[in-house]
Amino acid sequence: MRSRNCSDRCRSFHRRPYRRGGLLSLAILLGVAGRSWAEPADASLAILPAKFELDGPEARQRLLVETLVESTMPSGPRRLSVGQLAEGVTFATSDPSVVRIEGGHAVAAGNGTAVVTAAAGGRIASAEVTVRGVDAPFRWSFRRHVESVLTKAGCNSGACHGAAAGKNGFKLSLRGYDPIGDHGAITRHARGRRVNYPEPARSLLVLKPTVAVPHKGGQRIEPGSIEYRALAEWIAAGAPPPSPDDPAVERLEIFPPQAVLKPGATEQLSVRAVYSDGRSEEVTRWVLFTATDGAVAQVDERGRVQVMGHGESAVTAWYQSRIVVATITVPFVQEAPVEAIAAAFASSPKRNFIDELVLAKLQSLNLPPSPPAGDSEFLRRAFLDTIGVLPTVEETRAFLSDPSPQKRDTLIETLLGRPEFDDYWAYKWSDLLLVSSEKLRPPAMWAYYDWIRRQVATNAPWDRMVRAIVTAQGSTLENGAANFFSLHQDPQSMSETVSQAFLGMSIGCARCHNHPMEKWTNDQYYGMANLFARVRVKEAPGDGNGSVFTAASGDLVQPLTGKPQPPRPLDGEPLPFDAVEDRRIPLADWLTSPANPYFSRAVANRVWANFMGVGLVEKVDDLRATNPSSNEVLLSGLARHLADNGFDLKALMRSILQSAAYQRSSRVLVENRGDRRFYSRYYPKRLMAEVLLDGLSQATGAPTAFGGYPAGWRAMQLPDANVASYFLKSFGRPERLITCECERNAETSMTQVLHISNGDTLNQKLEAKGNRIEKLLSAGKSDEEIVDEAYLAALSRFPSADEKRKVLEILAAAGKDGRRSAIEDLLWGLLSSKEFIFNS
């Protein structure tokens, strides 16, 4: 039975003690609460990696000498680098016949084991090295070496020969995803003129990138370099082709995995590849590096990081479709005394596990949190984020006057149970699932929307709802979920939409080649798409009716190979081709499993972004490995919380709403003004188009008319995005044509400014008969009562004494004849203000 409350396992996670002082102590020791940067007293010297193998006569490993400190993180104790020594280091080896040192690298000399030491400033660090295979003949591998050289040099990039049509008659697969095809292009195409076996140095493959002959791409390889040798010596060996038995990269390791540095510091990274045959080697020089936040840290092509500013940036390393991430943390420098910063963290409220993990991240960055939000600020925020409407004047008065310390929790429970909650979240999921009469007939569109709203109204667990969509069959009018397959009638689009909507990942790039920014390969793409190859939709009696069913045979051919891939979820187990079971059922099993690392994270991130304004991963449907979370431990915690509570979305929302992180003020402190994504405060966000229009209608008491829908319907009650509205279009309503958050535009524009200022929407509502202004005047309300109501209706707060005084003076000066016009101006001023248009 699914419980609304946390399971025992989840409670234990929430209450698990987190030993304070981890990165906060580190930040203090490093002097980031002042202008100094001192090395911690307990820092130790270490060589990274501390233990490694050198396999073969060409093997070598860069030695990184790091200053490490012990730190307690939410995920457990960890040794963090706080700086790298590049000068004043003396290396030695216990056995030069096994390992020799050349330019800061350990180089294989002979089989055996040796210890490499580094001495600096009276401290010594050591690393254990095992060398093997030195006596074995060395051969350059096309898959491991030649493709790596071409990728690093950019020869097979999308801007060069990796383009869809190639370049100047020479075409390679993007980033080497097709080694067999690339080998043929190099050695067979154009009559094999790109390789010269008797004189490898005169091969075009060597001459062009070294610009020994004219090359439009410029110089890509230095003569005499390892890259040069790899190409020339591979050709000299007869240009051996790739073999199916070649070891594949299973994973990458990066050193150091996390570093806490100061602006101006540099840090050299090292990457090792671990292969399927158990061997490993350093591949740093052939890795493609990217920094996610260049304002914090930048990385060059050799993996050297330059710290630019405060914050946190991930550095991703890509090699042969494998990705690994290093985190660069740069704590903010504060003018306030250390004791004041520590006190700010100690006094910050902690309601649940969310607060523990948010504060841990803030401590690591030395970002003090803003104080709690006031009651009116919280009230308006919770209404808009949870149900998409403003609190009424009566609700605001009651909440602000309620002395109960539990009134916020009571409000949260009330909001989660209101019918407007069902409207708001049915609309949100309709955006995701593309409910629109643009592609569906009205009866089918209504069936689809009604099905979604029922799921929300009954609080259907997210996994059950998604499973019903993915495995839907039968009439699209009787089973609204089946319309998903009416919208996506080929296996590729079905697969891509399922991945985007429910895993938060775009796999479309892998349709033509291995994904250049993810681990997904072309084989995995077609294996996933083949799960939908037997889904069929045929017309059935009734307007917009279709029948979804699965055929007994049929497979999707992969263009690259000319054969179908075994049907399989992205990284799940393959299914037999002759299995008679609906292939979507094992897909749904894999997709919605609590063990699936993508499913719960994707929806947890979407829900978090709705309430917090900024996703832990931005954008929310871009959960690729090269776009890591701003707080990985928190995202994992939210995902685990959701799974442990049976994918009850209301349970997740309740935890977020109750957290001190959500209930923090949006007021910017001097100490946290540099924060944009770590939740030291609530981030104001512009109201989504539909909520803004409904807010204008509610505050003025003049509903918006939507053609073909009942009078008084709110924009958030519309099932269809295909409804004419200049206001909604101007303020970024999505057209629901593609599954992408990018369809909704939350940016401000001059068109919006002009429409609010002098457009029809607001002005007509202010002048409408029977609106709020007319009712207030008819009821004989005093100027003071009218001012209070205007502020409560629009901003969910009473006016300040100064605001009230100034407005009353204006109303008094307007006289009886100009009173209505003055009240319209008052309401116009409130409804066109940033305080109204933004949720803060």
* pLDDT tens sequence across 2-19: 333 433 333 333 333 333
pLDDT at residue 599 in the model:
97
Between CA 32 and CA 27 the distance in angstroms is: 6
How confident is the model over 618-640, as a mean pLDDT?
A: 94
pLDDT at residue 35 in the model:
45
267 beta partners: 305
pLDDT at residue 39 in the model:
60
Q: 36-137 — its CATH code?
A: 2.60.40.10
130 beta partners: 53, 113
Q: Can you tell me whether residue 501 is helix, strand or coil? A: helix
- DSSP for residue 144: I
How confident is the model over 698-705, as a mean pLDDT?
A: 97
How confident is the model over 404-419, as a mean pLDDT?
A: 98
pLDDT at residue 546 in the model:
96
pLDDT at residue 6 in the model:
38
pLDDT at residue 37 in the model:
52
pLDDT at residue 33 in the model:
47
Tell me: pLDDT of 286 over 70.
Answer: yes
What is the distance between the terminal CA atoms of the chain, rounded to a whole angstrom?
38
How confident is the model over 125-143, as a mean pLDDT?
A: 95
Between CA 417 and CA 277 the distance in angstroms is: 56
How confident is the model over 161-172, as a mean pLDDT?
A: 92
Tell me: pLDDT of 518 over 90.
Answer: no
| Fold match between domain 36-137 and domain 254-332 | yes
* pLDDT tens sequence across 531-548: 999 999 999 999 999 999
Tell me: pLDDT of 682 over 80.
Answer: yes
DSSP letter string, 221-280? S-TTSHHHHHHHHHHHTT-PPP-TTSPPEEEEEEESSEEE--TT-EEE-EEEEEETTS-E
Please report which confidence band the pLDDT of residue 27 belongs to, taking 50, 70 and 90 as the band edges. Answer: low
pLDDT at residue 10 in the model:
37
How confident is the model over 583-599, as a mean pLDDT?
A: 96
| Residues in contact with 392: Cβ distance below 8 Å, sequence separation at least 6, in sequence order | 698, 793
Tell me: pLDDT of 69 over 60.
Answer: yes
CB 647 within 8 A of CB 641: no
Percentage of the chain exceeding pLDDT 70:
94
H or E, element range at 826: helix 819-831
Tell me: pLDDT of 42 over 70.
Answer: no
Kindly tell me the number of DSSP H helices and DSSP E strands found in the chain. 30, 27
pLDDT at residue 40 in the model:
63
* pLDDT tens sequence across 344-389: 898 899 999 999 999 999 999 999 999 999 999 999 999 999 999 9
pLDDT at residue 15 in the model:
33
Tell me: pLDDT of 747 over 90.
Answer: no
DSSP letter string, 606-640? HHHHHHHSS-SSSSTT---TTS--SSHHHHHHHHH
Answer whether CATH 3.90.1300.10 is correct for domain 254-332. no
pLDDT at residue 22 in the model:
47
Please report which confidence band the pLDDT of residue 71 belongs to, taking 50, 70 and 90 as the band edges. Answer: confident
CB 569 within 8 A of CB 528: yes
Percentage of the chain exceeding pLDDT 90:
86
CB 216: neighbour CB atoms within 10 A?
Answer: 8
Tell me: pLDDT of 30 over 70.
Answer: no
Per-domain residue ranges of the chain = 36-137, 142-236, 254-332, 461-591, 689-839
Residue type, 449: Y
291 beta partners: 315
Between CA 344 and CA 359 the distance in angstroms is: 11
52 beta partners: 129
Sign of the torsion formed by the C-alpha atoms of 826, 829, 830 and 832: positive
Mean pLDDT of the chain: 92
* pLDDT tens sequence across 758-799: 889 999 999 999 999 999 999 999 999 999 999 999 999 999
